Structure 1
Amino acid sequence: MGALQFPCTIFTTRKVMDDDNADDMRYGDLTEAELKSRYRLDYISDRVDPWNLTLRSSLDRPQSLYCCNLRGQGRTISRQQCAEMLFDEFRSLSRMFSLSGPYRHLIEKMIAHMQNNSGKPFRAMALDKALENHIVSDKSENSTRLLLKKHFIKGIDWQNKKYSLIREDLRKSIIRGRLPKFDRFQDNYNGMGIAVHDISAAHIILKSLHIENDHYRAILHYKVQDHFGLDSADILKKTFSQFQFFRIWFVLQRSNQFGFKPFMTNMETTIEIIGNRNEK
């Protein structure tokens, strides 16, 4: 194998970028009957009944999300009005997952992006910053940054000032680690857990590797993508179905009466790794 050519993609996930065929990217594909029978989504909102297009009163609320002992119907509304009220409740409920921190505003922006219904990818500087902070602050043994740092020291031919191994060796070192996911304790309340949480696909690109004397400097670019959408497996889990936040989300996305489009959430950051041959 020849020398690395820069920029060099050293890692890609099995899941591809921009996968519009993923289950969580479906929208408007389920009927009312399916949503009620398979997913037990009879009661969705404390404000409106999306199945009858009526407003709710406090007397309408069932004792359990899994029963529907409603006491009459309120004023009839249009489907557009119903969707607007569901999105308002969706936004309001999101605040329990984004209590404090610099990323708490992201989820409401992403909900607004879904309501605009363009289906276009979502980008935000705060997302890129969150990704950078996660990578740089991760001091665990599974950190991809630290694993690469160790690997560069081992793989550099210090006498000839060049990288002596091949791209596959870099890929293997990353596989042993853990990609940056927003499932840490702090992500439960800082907004990132609800805005992103897991990731669908990732690319790691080595943009350059400079070796001088006993030191090296590597520039790495992380490109990460998530899907702002729910699949069937999500809503069938009690972790999700117990919260009206996710019940509203699933109905707005998957009901053939609404069908608001999910979208890709894109994050990118470039980081620097500096080290020397004497590090352990």
Structure 2
Amino acid sequence: MSALHFPCTIFKTQNRMDDYSAKDMRCGDLSESQLKTHFHLLDVSTRANPYTLTRITPFTQPQSMFYGSRGEGEKITRQQCASILFDEFRDLSRLFSIYGPYKHLIEKMITHMQNGNSTPFRDVSLDRALKEQILNDKTEISTLLRIKEVIKNYIDWGTNTYPLEKKDELRKAISGGKLPKFDRFQDNYNGMGITVHDTWATHITIKSLYIENDRYRVVVHYKIQDHFGLDSDDILNTKFSQFHFFRIWFVLQRYNQFGFKPFMTNMEATVEITGGRSES
């Protein structure tokens, strides 16, 4: 019986890594009339009007008692308007990032969108959050626990190997589980829900399998990629469109007068599984 050799990639999502053709990676593709008519983005910011390139003050806000008393707001350049919108974007992000070691990430990623010109984003905090999420998932749909179950069940203890013919059992087990995401209740407030939430592509690789004296140790590597960008469905969802935060994000990304580029968010984590032949 042939043995499976490592490292070995045991799972890949249908979504590809580095897929710049994805809908949420579009930028600068919508006109003012499209944003207003199709997406109903009339009220975008409380600080600047991206269409007229004017500052918004109490005298230029329709809901203000001072509205209209001093005419149109101060004219600003497109660059000044973008800077004002990004500052408001960062300030509003704090509504979704209240506590914990990852609350700083969203502001860092917004600044990367402003200055990074679509270069991929990596941060050790993201890798740490991913590893914690994988290790702390004790549910029956945990991909890590499902990998452990399959390894334990199909190890050939006579040769201390994992059979090549049982490779697909690993893929099937992972497919029946839930890939690491940040959609738990606490992620609504700890900064991970707003920075990553769902994910686009996942690759899972067994880097090594060591078996001796009826014990085994498996090293598993997760490579996960998300897109920091919004597609049309996102902003047409009232759950998102009600917030100025997402309105500003969409306009900065998709308005043809701005066109700030979304980017790939990359995360990796390496975790170990250990166990024995006799464990239940």
Contact 1:161 1:213 in 2 (8 A): no
Structure 2 residue 162 is matched with structure 1 residue 155: no
Q: Contact between 1:3 and 1:166, CA under 8 Å: does it hold in 2?
A: no
Structure 1 Cα separation of the partners of residues 187 and 94 of structure 2:
13
Q: Which residue is equivalent to 1:80?
A: 79
Matches within 5 A, 1:80-119: 80-119=79-118
The worse-fitting range, judged by mean Cα deviation, of 212-221 and 71-80 is 71-80
Q: Deviations over 1:141-188 (max 9, x none)?
A: 110011111111101011221112432111001011000100001100
Conserved in 2, the CA contact under 8 Å of 1:131 and 1:269?
yes
Whether the 8 Å CA contact 1:28–1:255 is kept in 2: the answer is yes
Question: Please, which moves more after superposition, 251-260 or 165-174?
Answer: 165-174
* Aligned equivalent of 1:136: 135
Count of residue correspondences: 274
Q: CA RMSD in A?
A: 1.2
Distance 1:62 1:151 in 2: 62
Unaligned runs of 5+ in 1: 64-69
User: C-alpha distance in 1, partners of 2:5/2:243?
Assistant: 49
Amino acid at match of 1:101: G
2:49 is the alignment partner of 1:44: no
How many angstroms apart in 2 are the aligned matches of 1:143 and 1:47?
Answer: 45
SS in 1 for 2:39: coil
Counterparts of 1:248 and 1:158, CA distance in 2: 58
- Give 2:166's aligned residue: 166
Is the Cα contact below 8 Å between 1:24 and 1:231 reproduced in 2?
yes
Runs of 4+ with deviation above 3 angstroms? 59-63
TM-score computed with the length of structure 1 as normaliser: 0.95
Q: How do 1:244-263 residues align onto structure 2 when only pairs under 5 Å count? A: 244-263=244-263
SS in 2 for 1:199: coil
TM-superposed CA distance for 1:5, in Å, is: 1.9
Q: Alignment identity in percent?
A: 61
Cα contact 1:132–1:270 (8 A) shared by 2: yes
* Distance in 2 separating the partners of 1:264 and 1:177: 24
Matched with 2:222 is 222
Separation in structure 1 between the aligned mates of residue 260 and residue 244 of structure 2, nearest angstrom: 17
Partner secondary structure for residue 163 of structure 1: coil
Alpha-carbon distance in 1 for matches of 2:55, 2:79: 13
Contact 2:188 2:194 (8 Å CA) reproduced: yes
1:108 and 1:82, CA in 2 relative to 1: closer, same or farther beyond 3 A?
same
Partner of 2:273: 273
* 2:160 partner letter: K
Contact 2:4 2:161 (C-alpha < 8 Å) held by counterparts: no
Residue aligned with 1:267, SS: strand
Q: CA deviation at 1:62?
A: 4.3
Aligned in 2, Cα 1:113/1:24: closer, same or farther, shift over 3 Å? same
Secondary structure of 2:269's match?
strand
1:27 corresponds to: 27
Alpha-carbon shift at residue 16 of structure 1 (Å): 0.3
Aligned counterparts of 2:36 and 2:11: Cα–Cα separation in 1 = 42
User: What does residue range 230-241 of structure 1 map to in structure 2 within 5 Å?
Assistant: 230-241=230-241
Distance in 2 (CA, whole Å) between partners of 1:60 and 1:5 is 68
2:209 aligned residue? 209
Cα deviation 1:15-57 (Å, max 9, x = unaligned): 0000000000000000000000000001100001111001111
Is the CA contact (8 Å cut-off) linking 1:201 and 1:225 kept in structure 2?
Answer: yes
Note the C-alpha offset of 1:98.
Answer: 0.5
- CA deviations 1:209-255 (Å, max 9, x no partner) are 11112110000000000000000010000111011000000000000
Measured after TM superposition, the shift of residue 139 of structure 1 is 0.5
Runs of 5+ in structure 2 lacking a partner? none
* Matches of 1:239 and 1:146, distance apart in 2: 33
Contact 2:39 2:236 in 1 (8 A): yes
Amino acid at match of 2:224: V
Matched residues in 2 for 1:226 and 1:152: separation? 28
* TM-score calculated relative to the size of structure 2: 0.95
Distance of 1:265 and 1:30 partners within structure 2:
24
Other structure's SS at 2:223 match: strand
